[in-house]
Structure 1
Amino acid sequence: MMLRSCYRCLGRRGGGDGLMWHTDLKPHASGDYSIAVVQANSSLEDQSQVFTSPYATYVGVYDGHGGPEASRFVNRHLFPYLHKFATEQGGLSADVIKKAFHATEEEFCLLVKRALPLQPQIASVGSCCLVGAISNDVLYVANLGDSRAVLGRKVFEDSKSKVAAERLSTDHNVGDEDVRREVEALHPDDSHIVVYTRGVWRIKGIIQVSRSIGDVYLKKPEFYRDPVFQQFGNPIPLKRPAMTAEPSILTRQLRPQDLFLIFASDGLWEQLSDETAVEIVFKNPRAGIAKRLVRAALNEAAKKREMRYNDIKKIEKGIRRHFHDDITVVVIFLDHNKGPSHGRHKHNAIGCINAPTDIYSLSADDEEEVMLHPVP
């Protein structure tokens, strides 16, 4: 049963860092999971959620830009759409996931249209969107933008058990040459569709990601030509949409050597390689592993400024964005071929956890709130 709303439960602040929140370990149908978030922006633009049932596990990581509105919208609407279409079509599939992404995009566009006269900036708000779903030992990974899913897979070298990193998602970022060529091929008559500015490649000199939910003014001519929006921002001459909400989707049968999955916003991957992240998970205890990954990333961010993490965690939100991005990490452990007694409580568990909407304002009462609303 899918839930209309997910509420954070049993999470806590992170060991002296008032802008970190984490849940050390919770059960899902085929293992355990861990989640952690650290806030850097004035408003937390990363949103995330994990839904568990006896039959499926869903993970969502939504990295907003231009403001938190789009990522918060996706956090409320995408999972219910997934449930609706999966129910209508008799189960999860790549087509169900695409329909859920498209429905979420269309509903957000309607919201933007209604809000534009009073909030013209809403047309320039967007969110990356990374979703993982496990059902019947099949994994689906759907992605818009540059959040990333990485698999830790057991391998043997010299008779020793080791771990290999396998990237499961595509980074839709024009910093990648293949993505840049893809965008340029769609705009053969616009030599400035991708521009190198402020040290990176950007679409129209504005944005690095080529796919998202939102960013409506770069997708629909009626928005970027609207006089209200043109008063808010510079009009962008476009002959056709510069971005899309079409997700890339990977489908994979899970195998016994597949150990765990890391879903994270690009705030993590800016600091840690895929290989470093899977090594950390492989070599450390499960409990608190997502928090450990976040701290490893923050240590790397501190080193780049010749600082320590202890110095960074004293910096307030907003200013802290100059040192690192918002970071969200969800680690999903995959336990295979366990006996029926293993995790019997897990297979009966239905639950959903949202990371806090904004960590800075999180209260103790919020942390303990658990309110599950079934979708009719």
Structure 2
Amino acid sequence: MFSWLARIVSACLRPVRRYARMSKDDVDDPSSIEDTLLWYKDLEKHSCGEFSYAVVQANEIIEDHSQVETGSDAMFIGVYDGHGGPEASLFISEHLFHHLMRIARDNGTISEDILRGAVSATEDGFLTFVRRTYGIKPLMAAIGSCCLAGVIWKGTLYVANLGDSRAVIGSVDRSNKIVAEQLTREHNASKEEVRRELRSLHPEDSQIVVMKHGTWRIKGIIQVSRSIGDAYLKRPEFSLDPSFPRFHLPDPIRRPVLTADPSICSRVLQPNDKFLIFASDGLWEHLTNQEAAEIVHNNPRTGIARRLLKAALNEAARKREMRYKDLQKVERGIRRFFHDDITVVVVFIDHEMVGKNIAVPELSIRGFIDTVRASNFKVVRD
């Protein structure tokens, strides 16, 4: 377990320049400087189409981790937006997909319940890790991550979500215009429905959600109401004492304040469904669903995830009365004052390929860390 922690630290501290993949093309202004905090895969194949993938770092140590797994008859997309540190998001990237494959193979299928079971197993595993390290690193109890996971299998999309990352589908209407539809529910205290839900679950606690520094926060600390990790807000045994004032609760919790119960949806993909956008909340802070969908619909596939990132970063710079090329000069850590870590995966659906078992590379790609290896992605063993 401690060797696994060492791998996390090693991965997160490697120089970002080693991961950057820079090339001049029509996505970027040739006159601009290279953004050394940007990683991308401009266009790759999956079993029923193509995908584009990009990540930009803002924090001193990147807290967004992500993965794409391609198989002969399926695809998996995971976006994990960490907070408090990178350990939880990296743990999810190391374990969620493996739990999903184990449970799917035992059952011979993919379903909403199987995806839910994989999320639950990942949460249990991370809380076990927290328990083993709590004595020497108590702040591990304050580390957590949002979790957005999608699976395309046999023409059906399954999506699980914890936190405020977002999946959006782009479909064409009868007049051939693109329409963006949000597939996921956001678990963030900024949403009135989430505050109502929390108050109904905790009627005895007048401080379950409070406004602090202009933002609604749960217990005055955290915005997301569902996550992997954040053990100190789920189990009394992981409470933090006053020496950790940011995470100390004056009264111990009697029952979980946060949960790891994901919202799940499934959708049979239709011919008018053209693409999916999976992204951490850093993208949606600067672009609406419809704006993002129109960018994807109106531009070439190659480099489209990077183009979405650039649009968000241009908007982030504009809000601070800067230009993007000036923002590119800002170092990681300081850059967090301008925008968050952002992960974007755009998945194109080519319906003529669905169910045809077209040969594609079976790959496991980890965003930003830039590992590419074989993926053992088979729901049913031959």
TM-score by length of 1: 0.89
Number of aligned pairs? 351
SS of aligned partner of 1:12:
coil
Matches within 5 A, 1:103-252: 103-157=121-175, 161-224=176-239, 229-233=241-245, 234-237=248-251, 238-252=253-267
Is 1:12 equivalent to 2:13 in the alignment? no
If asked which structure has higher relative contact order (CA below 8 Å, sep 6+), I would say 1
Task: Summarize deviations over 1:217-258 as a string: whole Å, max 9, x none.
Answer: 00001111x6xx553342352222110000000011110000
Aligned to 2:344: 329
**Residue from 68, 76, 89 that aligns with 2:107:** 89
Given that residues 28 and 57 in structure 1 are in contact (C-alpha distance below 8 angstroms), is that contact kept between their aligned partners in structure 2?
yes
Question: Among the aligned pairs, what percent are the same residue?
Answer: 52
Q: CA deviation at 1:10?
A: 10
Amino acid at match of 2:306: K
Q: Give per-residue Cα distances to partners, 1:47-86, cap 9 Å, x unaligned.
A: 0100010111000000000010100000000000000000
| Correspondence 1:26 to 2:38 | no
Distance 1:245-1:350 versus aligned 2 partners, 3 A rule: same
For residue 177 of structure 2, give the secondary structure of its aligned residue in structure 1: strand
> Is 2:47–2:353's contact at 8 Å kept on the other side of the alignment?
no
1:73-115 deviation per Cα after TM superposition (whole angstroms, max 9, x unaligned): 0000000000000001111111111111111001100110111
Query: What CA deviation, in whole Å up to 9, does each residue of 1:103-144 have, x standing for no partner?
Result: 100110011011111111110000000001000001001000
* Residues 254-311 of structure 1: CA deviation (Å, up to 9, x unaligned): 1000000000000000000000000000000000000000000000000100100001
**Aligned counterpart, 1:3:** none
One-letter amino acid of the structure 2 residue matched with residue 355 of structure 1: G
Q: Single out whichever of 230-239 and 316-325 deviates more from structure 2.
A: 230-239
Deviation, 1:344, is 3.6
Offset, 1:374: 4.5
- Cα distance change on mapping 1:236 and 1:247 into 2, 3 Å: farther
Aligned position for 2:304: 289
Task: Please report how far the alpha carbon of residue 339 of structure 1 lies from its aligned counterpart in structure 2 after TM superposition.
Answer: 9.6
2:72/2:357 contact within 8 Å kept: no
Do the aligned residues in 2 keep the contact of 1:13 with 1:19 (CA within 8 Å)? no
Over the aligned positions, Cα root-mean-square deviation in angstroms equals: 2.2
Q: Distance in 1 between matches of 2:81 and 2:261?
A: 16
Question: Of 83, 92, 96, which residue of structure 2 is paired with 1:74?
Answer: 92
Are residue 259 (structure 1) and residue 268 (structure 2) matched?
no
Kindly indicate whether the alpha-carbon contact (under 8 Å) linking 1:10 and 1:23 is maintained by their aligned counterparts in 2: no
Question: Structure 1 301/100 Cα, relative in aligned 2: closer, same or farther at 3 Å?
Answer: same
Structure 1 runs not aligned, ≥5 long: 1-6, 358-366
Find the aligned partners of 2:230 and 2:345 in 1 and give their Cα distance: 25
**Is the contact between residue 142 and residue 249 of structure 1 (CA under 8 Å) also seen in structure 2?**
yes
* Cα distance, 1:12 vs structure 2: 1.5
How far apart are residue 338 of structure 1 and its match? 4.8
Select the residue among 368, 371, 377 that pairs with 1:356. Answer: 368
